[in-house]
Structure 1
Amino acid sequence: MKNKKKSILFFNARRRVNMAKKMIEYLKNRYTEYQLISSDTDYLDPISYVTDDFVVLPSIESQEFESVFLEVIKKKNIVGIIMWNDKDFAAIEKMRLKIEKLGCKILMPKEKKYEICNNKMLTDKFLRTHALYTPQIYENPDKIKKYPVIIKPKNGAGCVDVYKADNLEEAIVFYKKVPNPIIQEYIEGVHYTVDTYFDRCDGVLCSVPRKRIKVREAEVMIAKIEMQEEVMNVAQQLTKFFSEEGPMNIQVILSVDDGKPYIIDIHCRIGGGSELSIEGGVPLHEWIIDDIIGGEKRIQYIVNDGLIMTRYFDAFFINENSSIKNNIKR
């Protein structure tokens, strides 16, 4: 039986419940012939209890993933894919042509661009090519000129295996411990995550800095919109140089030493704390949906500068031996 609605897949977004709710609300208000579905490797992901449908997929690293995924796209009438996890980009890119032949749009940059985000050495080269400030990189512990330094994986994300070394002895230990390590100058300052969005016709639609006040395991728990001009400008410049349709979130540290905005990380997707920007008036979720469907964007908005977000964990409770979807308690 043919699906009544066209589906947009929020791919492996796991606990991005609030973001999913925003997208669903927008679809119901403007694009009633579409629905939002989500996916992961088991039904216990929190997002599965709020989206219109949920699909269990094999691991993206498995041999059967491609054939299963392509069949799901056809069966669920999926016309667009919203990416979340940086580590999924490479596998989906390999399938891009096959996915697009099914009439499904993937909102993510081409391989050369997302590799700039995922590889810290390529990130550094890109930023320096465009004369944007970024911390100095040292080849190995013996080359370090100033402490402290940050040691982290070249292809890492989410603060996994990230260490601060205050001296040569610590640097040697962490350099051996971290897989495929990179040594980066430590910048003391105010840490921001900046939400930006690039449109092929209108250019950069927004640049909204979120000051990171409290972070837990790489996830921002308390943040504040702070329209700091230097930070806004550098993120806008980067997004313009990058010129890839869709959202970006850019990590910037405003140095207390020289007052310069140093870019330390780039992600070509929506951020975990981007819901603050949305609540602050920036329709990021709408633009994502509009780009997938081909609708006209609402580009006039007012930012609630100074808006603070404080988060907490919520839970779903499911009776193990009953139908999961019909036995959810909050």
Structure 2
Amino acid sequence: MINVLILSAGRRVELVQAFQKALLQHAPGSKVVAGDAQGLAPALYHADDAVLLPRVSDPSYLDSLCSVIKDHQISLVVPTIDPELPVLADLRTEIESRTGTRVMVAEPWVTRICNDKILTQDHISENGLMAPMLYAMPENISDKDFPVIIKPKAGSSSIGVHVVTTRDELDYLLPRTTEPMIQRLIVGDEHTVDCFSDFEGNVVTVVPRLRIATRGGEILKGRIVKDPEIITAVKSLLATLPMPGHSTVQCFKTDRGVEFIEVNPRFGGGAPMSIAAGADSCSHLVRILQGERLSYNEDYEDGLTFMRFDQAVMVRDSEVVGL
């Protein structure tokens, strides 16, 4: 039996269902347990079991998480949001020793780099890869440099990201942006790349997805594009940032080549697209926990287009988790 706990499950119904499908195929009788800090998270009602957990900032978080892991006989813990990653990275050894579970999280130094976009850009450049030019000082930006991008150095879902076309706009947004960073605006096709590596850092799959349409920073429409240039560049990046399990890399393909803008050592919202195309990270995780060794492959279907949509979940008061 391989029970999986998905943390901060929120709206990740597709991810819950992908794990359920993988468990049905490879470990029948296993369960997907969804956890969240509030009882109205839709994914809770699609999982095999649901639990409420305190937020990672709560002093009781570690003990509560370990209790859930033991009570539900969890084999794998899967974080899904950025604020969890550094906390779980620091606690991973203790969680695993206290419970015998496996936590899908990278080393603390990796999560520290990925959670800070300036550190991410520095790491990319130091390793001979490309990223948009970073303006260290706002006063160094001349009129010919506009438009530029301003965004918080930590954050996700495109929150606080602005395209700035004038000096007046920049002066207005700078004091209103938390720990701002300013980058050259690049033009090209934006891709999110779903990656999977085993727990030793060996790359198993790299799947570029063209971002056709987004909402709130999350993909609504995308197409699988098996682009050799992007795949090669991403594999080079992964060699410098070992991230066990599923991770996502965002990049643009420009006239200069592949330019990286973000790295997330977790499942992205659009990961079910790559899973459905055949790069099944959920099955990979289950098979690894069963002792299999996986090798690199590109056995996923190219040219698939996905269009995501919203769907309501209806529950009665008596069915609300934790109410």
2:305 corresponds, among 305, 308, 327, to 308
Does structure 1 residue 207 correspond to structure 2 residue 212?
Answer: no
CA–CA distance in structure 2, aligned partners of residues 223 and 47 of structure 1 = 22
Q: Is the alpha carbon distance of 1:237 and 1:70 closer, same or farther for their aligned partners in structure 2, counting shifts above 3 Å?
A: same
Does structure 1 residue 40 correspond to structure 2 residue 36?
Answer: yes
2:68 counterpart SS class: helix
Q: Please name the residue that 1:9 is paired with.
A: 5
Does structure 1 residue 181 correspond to structure 2 residue 209?
Answer: no
Per-residue deviation at 1:244?
A: 3.0
Q: Please name the residue that 2:20 is paired with.
A: 24
What is the TM-score of this pair, normalised by structure 2? 0.92
Structure 2 matches for 1:133-172, cutoff 5 A? 133-145=130-142, 146-172=145-171
Larger deviation, residues 201-210 vs 214-223:
201-210
Does structure 1 residue 55 correspond to structure 2 residue 51?
Answer: yes
Q: Which amino acid aligns with 1:305?
A: D
Q: Please name the residue that 1:270 is paired with.
A: 267
Per-residue deviation at 1:260?
A: 1.3
Gaps (5+ residues) in structure 1?
326-330
Per-residue deviation at 1:94?
A: 3.3
CA–CA distance in structure 1, aligned partners of residues 25 and 247 of structure 2 = 25
Identity within the alignment, %: 26
Larger deviation, residues 307-316 vs 66-75:
66-75
Gaps (5+ residues) in structure 2?
none
Is contact 2:17-2:46 (8 Å) kept? yes
Q: Please name the residue that 2:197 is paired with.
A: 198
What is the TM-score of this pair, normalised by structure 1? 0.90
Q: Which amino acid aligns with 1:12?
A: S
Q: Is the alpha carbon distance of 1:22 and 1:121 closer, same or farther for their aligned partners in structure 2, counting shifts above 3 Å?
A: same
CA–CA distance in structure 2, aligned partners of residues 42 and 295 of structure 1 = 36
2:240 counterpart SS class: helix
Per-residue deviation at 1:293?
A: 4.7
CA RMSD in angstroms, aligned pairs only: 1.9
Is contact 1:9-1:38 (8 Å) kept? yes
1:286 corresponds, among 283, 286, 297, to 283
Q: Is the alpha carbon distance of 1:33 and 1:125 closer, same or farther for their aligned partners in structure 2, counting shifts above 3 Å?
A: same
Q: Please name the residue that 2:101 is paired with.
A: 104
CA–CA distance in structure 1, aligned partners of residues 277 and 105 of structure 2 = 24
Q: Please name the residue that 1:65 is paired with.
A: 61
Is contact 2:7-2:34 (8 Å) kept? yes
Per-residue deviation at 1:204?
A: 1.9
Q: Is the alpha carbon distance of 1:12 and 1:200 closer, same or farther for their aligned partners in structure 2, counting shifts above 3 Å?
A: closer
Asked which structure has the greater RCO (Cα within 8 Å, sep 6+), the reply is 2
Per-residue deviation at 1:292?
A: 4.2
CA–CA distance in structure 2, aligned partners of residues 222 and 9 of structure 1 = 28
List per-residue Cα deviations over 1:87-119 (Å, max 9, x = no partner). Answer: 111222332232111211111101001111111
2:150 counterpart SS class: strand
Q: Please name the residue that 2:113 is paired with.
A: 116
Structure 2 matches for 1:219-230, cutoff 5 A? 219-230=218-229
Is contact 2:34-2:51 (8 Å) kept? yes
CA–CA distance in structure 1, aligned partners of residues 132 and 245 of structure 2 = 26
Is contact 1:20-1:47 (8 Å) kept? yes
Per-residue deviation at 1:55?
A: 0.6
Larger deviation, residues 54-63 vs 293-302:
293-302
Q: Which runs of 4+ in 1 moved over 6 A?
A: none
CA–CA distance in structure 2, aligned partners of residues 62 and 116 of structure 1 = 24
Corresponding pairs, count: 318
List per-residue Cα deviations over 1:282-307 (Å, max 9, x = no partner). Answer: 12221123334544448656322111
Per-residue deviation at 1:200?
A: 5.5
CA–CA distance in structure 2, aligned partners of residues 105 and 225 of structure 1 = 30
Is contact 2:207-2:274 (8 Å) kept? yes
List per-residue Cα deviations over 1:35-58 (Å, max 9, x = no partner). Answer: 210101122211111111111112
Is contact 2:121-2:131 (8 Å) kept? yes
